[in-house]
Amino acid sequence: MDRIAITGGAQLNGTIPVSGAKNSAIKLMAASLLTDQPLRLTNMPRLADTRFLGKLLTRLGVSVTESDGPDGQETVLHAPEITSGFAPYDLVRQMRASFNVLGPLVARSGQAKVSLPGGCTIGARPVDLHLQAIEALGAKIDLHEGYVYAQAPRGLKGAEIVFPIVSVGATEHAMLAAVLADGVTVIKNAACEPELVDLQECLNAMGAKVEGAGTPTVTITGVARLNGASHSVIPDRIEMGTYAVAAAMAGGEVRLTKARPELIESLSVKLEEAGATVVRTEDGVIVKRNGSRLNAVDLETAPFPGFATDLQAQFMALMTTANGESRIRETIFENRFMHAPELMRLGADISVHGGEARVRGVAQLEGAEVMATDLRASVSLVIAGLVARGETVVSRIYHLDRGFERLEEKLGACGAQVRRIKGDGEPEL
């Protein structure tokens, strides 16, 4: 199993191009099930998660072709016919978002058998809202032996879907299913994340009629069929925010390109409050810190445009050496402070009480062996290692490989002393 070693103390200076968004790419890939024509996705990240989903889609009848095209990395997905409506546990368990093939399968072929995704280290993350949405569209849902059996032999029907709580995954799933439903579907209390706007733009390029993504109400007028299309994946705001935090942590000056600064505005404000300089540019941001110690600031995670839960671990790492005490409240997931004990192994002073963590800044972190517990926690340990005295070794980095493309290369190009230690074989996920 691979590990990453970081020798702390080097400032970061240079340019980092931001990759396409993982959280958007995997939902766009699922949209390929909705048409018998090719879907071409450009600005595609090459990640463990996209590889997992590609493997599942291939089983369902989709050909998945990766290449380097004129617009960079691209993937062409083509499903002339659905050859199987069965998504087994051994594939779905590797990535929760694989469950989102259920809606497109039922919408196009009238039936599906998809494994429940199982547990998650950062919280329960139930799929009940997903199932309620598919049922509202007229599918008959049965649960048996860990599988969802969904049937709509006469097709899905437009409906009003009111989510009791905001859910990004359920909103995306409802959109994917409703585009081929007969009639109008209105989704209320929808999530407003930028990835939903990206999904709307891709679906509309395929011939769908979706309006309102990015607002709490999404309206979908069903169409009889969708066409192929070409679509560029939105820049990854979590990757962008992660490298912005890394630059603030290590000091120096880093230009993040191929990105959109408005996607991390809530983070930028907090970085400036802490004492870093953030300059918005046309295609990203420049993050600078002259070496002076940062100030502790408080934050609370919230749905977009609030502070992203997927950046909470990274910001906690930043606060470990800030001057003063910061309070970090996690409101999205109930078990997302598992990185705190690992940061404490590096000398951080952190106490966790329920959904709040208190971080008292220390003058110096010390390198140590640490273990990644989930995707975002893994990169928070890398960020802390950038300033820790000596060497920090992060194990179980298959979590990191799920969401960060060429991390060692991108950080190394800016002067970080970071290297991958190759292990034996692939991890069991």
Active site residue 120: yes
* DSSP three-state, residue 121: coil
Distances from the Cα of 401 to the Cα of 91, 353, 424, 429, angstroms: 17, 30, 16, 12
3-state secondary structure of 365: coil
- The token duo for 398 is 């298959």
Complete DSSP assignment for 5-69? EEE----EEEEEEPPBPHHHHHHHHHGGGG-SS-EEEES----HHHHHHHHHHHHHT-EEEEEEE
> Judging by DSSP bridges, how do beta strands 356-360 and 349-353 pair with one another?
antiparallel
Residue ranges for the known binding site for phosphoenolpyruvate are: 22-23
Q: Say if residues 44 and 233 touch (Cβ distance below 8 Å).
A: yes
Residue tagged active-site, from 120, 192, 202, 414: 120
**Binding region:** 22-23, 96, 125-129, 310, 332
From the number of C-beta atoms within 10 Å of its C-beta (0-12, 13-18, 19+), residue 142 rates as: exposed
Q: What beta strand segments (E) does 277-390 contain?
A: 277-281, 284-289, 299-300, 325-329, 349-353, 356-360, 369-371
3-state secondary structure of 180: coil
Confirm if 373 and 336 have CB atoms less than 8 A apart. Answer: no
Distance CA 93, CA 98 (A): 8
Question: Could you tell me the strand order of the sheet in which 111-115 lies?
Answer: 86-87, 111-115, 147-151, 140-144
CA 234 – CA 221 distance, rounded (Å): 24
Instruction: Write out the catalytic residue numbers.
Output: 120
